[in-house]
Amino acid sequence: MSDVPTPVALTQLSDEEQLFADSVYEFASREIRPLVREMDEHAKMAPALLPKLFDLGIMGIEIPEAYGGAGATLFHSVLAVEALSRVDPSVGVLVDVQNTLVVNAIARFGHEALRKRYLTALAGGTVGAFALSEAGSGSDAFALTTRAVEDGDGYVLTGRKLWITNANEADAFIVLATVNPDAGYKGITAFMIDRGTPGFSVGKKEDKLGIRASSTCELLLDDCRVPKANVLGEVGKGYKVAIETLNEGRVGIGAQMLGLAQGAFDHAVKYVKERAQFGKPIAEFQGVQFQIARMAADVEIARLLTYNAARLRDQGKPFLNEAAICKLVTSEVAERVASAAINLFGGNGFVKEYPVEKLYRDAKIGQIYEGTSHMQLATIAKACLA
């Protein structure tokens, strides 16, 4: 029996991973926590935070060192997003989109000139955004009306994108458009567009229920000319860019929802130890203890699913189904744990002076963006019945 390896828990981190996660959480506690309420009320990311995020090295986690990044893994991105989201899921999703969507898409599908130009910029101070959704293209992701018409050595893009995360802060955009509407999804093409390109502008910013500091805006393309060298991947293969990138993005949202749930749980545990009723802390009542236990179990489930999906991806193994399960369950856990935290806070949980009502508002988006819960269920069912 001595030759049998000791099982290692899926959630167990190496010393390096633990140090990384702890350092990001310490940063978030020190630099972000004092700004959370103000950013939420004003629905705006504090500008001073962005350079600090870059200085910490978490805006280019998977960018190869040759382009100025950390050369790390998706799992490191998950740890960073989780740690940030314990404090503010708005900052968590900014870092998530940068790493799991924008960086991953360019690193995988970009030719060398694009990688050198954009990955270097994204590691060094440029924020990125991923623009797929439109008014009539949500769950039906490829029902795009944004057109890209070939014109000499470039394409002219016309259309409107909605609900684009990071749009206010971004200077580099991945925009999906169709070069041939008759070809359906096979006409979709991905383009790199810089802020300031003639014909391209960032429009209305949405006034949202939650993650209010995270900018969500429309993009307007009015005869926006993009050189052919800015095609990301192959013409007509934009659907491949989107699908493969969003698989990783769902794991990133899982990390955001996990961090949110952990943050709500942390607040609840601290509060029930301090809040006294009937002459003793409410943590001593079994009814409260059982609620805390249920929340702890939910958080552990979310962590297991998120870490498993990220580990599989980093090992080059199939993870489509695991990513869908991760996003489905973690988004439900986040809402459930945040709601339970409000209940434990009682009347205080319902007012903005205390932190848990914000986390409850932030949790709702997890079941909507990067593929609704129903779309995740469809993916899971397809895998089960194959």
Model confidence pLDDT, tens digit, residues 304-325: 999 999 999 999 999 999 999 9
How distant is the alpha carbon of residue 108 from its chain centre? 18
> Which residue type does 39 have?
M
pLDDT per residue over 142-195, tens digit each?
889 999 999 999 999 999 999 999 999 999 999 999 999 999 999 999 999 999
How many C-beta neighbours within 10 Å does residue 197 have? 16
Question: What pTM did the predictor assign?
Answer: 0.96
Q: Which residues contact 15 (CB under 8 A, 6 or more apart)?
A: none
Mean pLDDT over 321-334 rounds to 98
Q: Which residues contact 23 (CB under 8 A, 6 or more apart)?
A: 56
Cβ-in-10-Å burial (0-12, 13-18, 19+) of 67 comes to buried
Token match 């926590």: residue?
Answer: 33
The question of whether 353 is a catalytic residue gets the answer: no
pLDDT at residue 2, as a whole number: 43
Give the alpha-carbon dihedral of 321, 322, 328, 333, to 10 degrees. Answer: 160
DSSP string, 143-175: ----EEEEETTEEEEEEEEEEEETTTT-SEEEE
Mean pLDDT over 226-247 rounds to 96
pLDDT at residue 205, as a whole number: 97
Q: Residue 252 has which token pair? A: 């990133």
**Strand, helix or coil at 331?**
helix
pLDDT(6) > 80: no
With pLDDT > 70 as the criterion, what percentage of the chain qualifies? 98
Give the alpha-carbon dihedral of 337, 341, 344, 345, to 10 degrees. Answer: -170
pLDDT at residue 363, as a whole number: 98
pLDDT(22) > 50: yes
Q: Which residues contact 30 (CB under 8 A, 6 or more apart)?
A: none
Q: Which of 9-23, 318-332, 345-359 has the lowest mean pLDDT?
A: 9-23
> For residues 318 and 278, what is the distance between their CA atoms, to the nearest angstrom?
54
pLDDT(334) > 70: yes
pLDDT at residue 8, as a whole number: 61
Mean pLDDT over 333-351 rounds to 98
Instruction: Say if CB 296 and CB 344 are below 8 A apart.
Output: no
Mean pLDDT over 338-362 rounds to 98
Q: Residue 377 has which token pair? A: 């269920």
pLDDT(7) > 80: no
pLDDT per residue over 260-270, tens digit each?
999 999 999 99
Q: Residue 355 has which token pair? A: 């932190």
pLDDT(58) > 80: yes
CA distances from 154 to 181, 219, 227, 228, 257 (A): 18, 20, 4, 5, 40
pLDDT(288) > 80: yes
Q: Give the ranges where the chain is alpha helix by DSSP (H).
A: 15-27, 36-42, 49-56, 74-87, 89-96, 104-109, 112-114, 120-124, 238-274, 286-314, 320-345, 356-363, 373-385
With pLDDT > 90 as the criterion, what percentage of the chain qualifies? 95
> For residues 23 and 25, what is the distance between their CA atoms, to the nearest angstrom?
5
Confidence of residue 138 (pLDDT cuts 50, 70, 90): confident
- Of 332, 60, 89, give the one whose Cα is nearest residue 209: 89
> For residues 289 and 154, what is the distance between their CA atoms, to the nearest angstrom?
63
- The domains located in the chain, with CATH, are 15-127 (1.10.540.10), 129-236 (2.40.110.10), 240-385 (1.20.140.10)
Confidence of residue 1 (pLDDT cuts 50, 70, 90): very low
pLDDT at residue 140, as a whole number: 85
Handedness of CA 351, 352, 354, 360 (dihedral sign): positive
pLDDT per residue over 80-132, tens digit each?
999 999 999 999 999 999 999 999 999 999 999 999 999 999 999 999 999 99
Q: Of the residues 82, 248, 335, 370, which is catalytic?
A: 370
pLDDT at residue 3, as a whole number: 52
> For residues 171 and 101, what is the distance between their CA atoms, to the nearest angstrom?
15
Task: Compute the mean pLDDT over every residue in the chain, rounded to the nearest whole number.
Answer: 96
Instruction: Say if CB 120 and CB 68 are below 8 A apart.
Output: yes
